[in-house]
Amino acid sequence: MINETMYGLGSAPSAIRELFAYGLARKQEIGADKVFDFSLGNPSIPAPDCVANAIRQFADMPAAELHAYSPAQGLESTRSAIAQSLNKRYGCTYTADNFYLTMGAAACLSACFSALVNPGEEVVVISPYFPEYRVWIEHAQGVCVEVPARSSDFQIDCEALGNALSSRTKAVVINSPNNPVGVVYTEETLKALASLLRAKQEEYGHDIYLISDEPYRELVYGGIAAPWVPSFYANTLVCYSWSKSLSLPGDRIGYVLVPDEVNESKRVYLAICGAGRALGYVCAPVFFQRVIEQCVDAPVNTEAYANNRQKLTSMLDELGYDYIAPDGAFYLWVKALEDDAQAFSDRAKQHELLLVSSDSFGVTGWVRIGYCVSAETIAQSYDAFAALKAEYDRAQR
Ligand code: PLP
């Protein structure tokens, strides 16, 4: 007998991937410019020049060095460069020893859950949430507890969160800038969250970790910046990747940061190393460790996404759609025009609009538009969005 849980995960592709696969097939059938695929979070802008330059430079390195294993937690020099970059930006005093490099934010999160959670302990997620959280938490034998975000603005609802925390809570996961909503948690939200978690640690007499999932950290608009989460709450672990900020999702590189301020930080760090070992997430792709070392301070280009966001929101305003104004990431959270989000997504598909139903993120009634697409896709989708809205308006008359 094989492991049926793993079989289940492997044989049931996520709704997002399914929609993306449908889009690829449909583009073959009717032409790429006729399908408006807003399904996936694949960055649409190229990686900055420093990446190509670094690749060229390292290609000439002696092969034995270029292709050799690094230490399990990553090259010292790369971890040190990351530490210095964050120290400059956020006024911290991190060193290489605070970082574990691994394969993107996905592996970082999965390693954190495995490192922290004992069987039956709870990890709280704020819904709507990135669906893989549940998969990773359950694989670590934890229990995934969903707490709805505040309905008015999708910030954290600290009262609801307070009611969900229990003596079994091991960690809370937050993601800001957020997939799927695009919200960026304010300082006020993070302060309230931190004081709640401190009070609950005191009440239950054990650590409650905050896992801050930040692959969209630099993708913010309108002159705001995402606050640095560890400065609010000591027991914070940060999971980061360059998948979105430098458009390197296929190169699978990211880090877990365990600051010294975390209680018994050395033990926690070693547990991350242990989880990396148990899961086989050791020695992240070394070529890209070196590339990151060169590009760690490369400015993040948000211009194309900012333009897309502006075009899309004006179009939706004009057509009368409701949405949550996004401050970050590259997603727009739009109210479905009927209660059943999947039915709405199916209806949109008939207009060649590929919008992900909110059911995928644990809530009903919304769809996610990924606007990491070309500006043309947005411009050309106008008629489809208009026809979809008109169809619902007619049905209501
Ligand atoms: N967390 C969130 C919220 C994401 O949206 C994604 C990817 O889309 C990930 C984690 C995984 O990122 P990575 O590609 O770096 O593994």
Burial letters 131-166, b for 16+ CB under 10 A, else e: bebbbbbbbbebbbbebbbbeeebbbbbeebeebbe
75-84 CB contacts, 8 Å cutoff, 24+ apart: 75/101, 75/286, 75/289, 75/290, 75/293, 77/293, 78/289, 78/290, 78/292, 78/293, 79/255, 81/292, 81/293, 81/296, 82/255, 82/292, 82/296
Least confident span in 54-68, 132-146, 232-246, 372-386:
54-68
**Torsion angle (degrees, nearest 10) of CA 247, 250, 251, 256:** 80
pLDDT in tens, 262-311: 999 999 999 999 999 999 999 999 999 999 999 999 999 999 999 999 99
To the question of pTM greater than 0.95 for the whole model, the response is yes
Q: Do 290 and 310 sit in the same domain of this protein?
A: no
* Assigned domain for 57 exists: no
* Mutational test site, ligand 1, from 40, 214, 238, 244, max ligand atoms within 8 Å of CB: 244
State the chain's mean pLDDT as an integer: 96
- How many angstroms does the Cα of residue 175 sit away from the middle of ligand 1? 10
How high is the pLDDT of residue 12? 85
- How many angstroms does the Cα of residue 7 sit away from the middle of ligand 1? 23
- How many angstroms does the Cα of residue 219 sit away from the middle of ligand 1? 13
* Mutational test site, ligand 1, from 16, 132, 219, 372, max ligand atoms within 8 Å of CB: 132
How high is the pLDDT of residue 64? 85
- How many angstroms does the Cα of residue 291 sit away from the middle of ligand 1? 20
DSSP class of residue 150?
P
Distance CA 69, CA 65 (A): 9
- How many angstroms does the Cα of residue 179 sit away from the middle of ligand 1? 9
How high is the pLDDT of residue 13? 77
- How many angstroms does the Cα of residue 216 sit away from the middle of ligand 1? 8
Number of domains the chain contains: 2
The two structure tokens encoding residue 196: 């709640």
Final residue before a domain boundary, out of 266, 295, 324: 295
Q: Which atom of ligand 1 is nearest to the CA of 107?
A: 16
What CATH number has the domain bearing residue 87?
A: 3.40.640.10
How high is the pLDDT of residue 353? 98
Specify whether the backbone of 59 is left (phi greater than 0), alpha (psi in -120 to 50) or beta.
alpha
Q: Which atom of ligand 1 is nearest to the CA of 249?
A: 14
pLDDT in tens, 91-143: 999 999 999 999 999 999 999 999 999 999 999 999 999 999 999 999 999 99
Q: Do 239 and 378 sit in the same domain of this protein?
A: no
* Assigned domain for 225 exists: yes
The β-bridge relationship of strands 254-257 and 99-102 is: antiparallel
How high is the pLDDT of residue 63? 87
How high is the pLDDT of residue 391? 96
Determine the structural domain holding residue 279 and report its residue range: 65-295
What CATH number has the domain bearing residue 19?
A: 3.90.1150.10
- How many angstroms does the Cα of residue 191 sit away from the middle of ligand 1? 25
pLDDT level of residue 180 (50, 70, 90 thresholds): very high
Q: Do 275 and 359 sit in the same domain of this protein?
A: no
The two structure tokens encoding residue 105: 């934010």
Distances in Å between the Cα of 14 and the Cα atoms of 26, 91, 359, 387 are: 18, 40, 11, 28
The β-bridge relationship of strands 169-175 and 122-127 is: parallel
Q: Which atom of ligand 1 is nearest to the CA of 254?
A: 15
Q: Which residues line ligand 1 (CB under 6 A)?
A: 41, 104-106, 130, 175, 179, 213, 215, 241, 243, 249, 254
Answer for the pair 301, 269: CB distance below 8 angstroms, yes or no. Answer: no
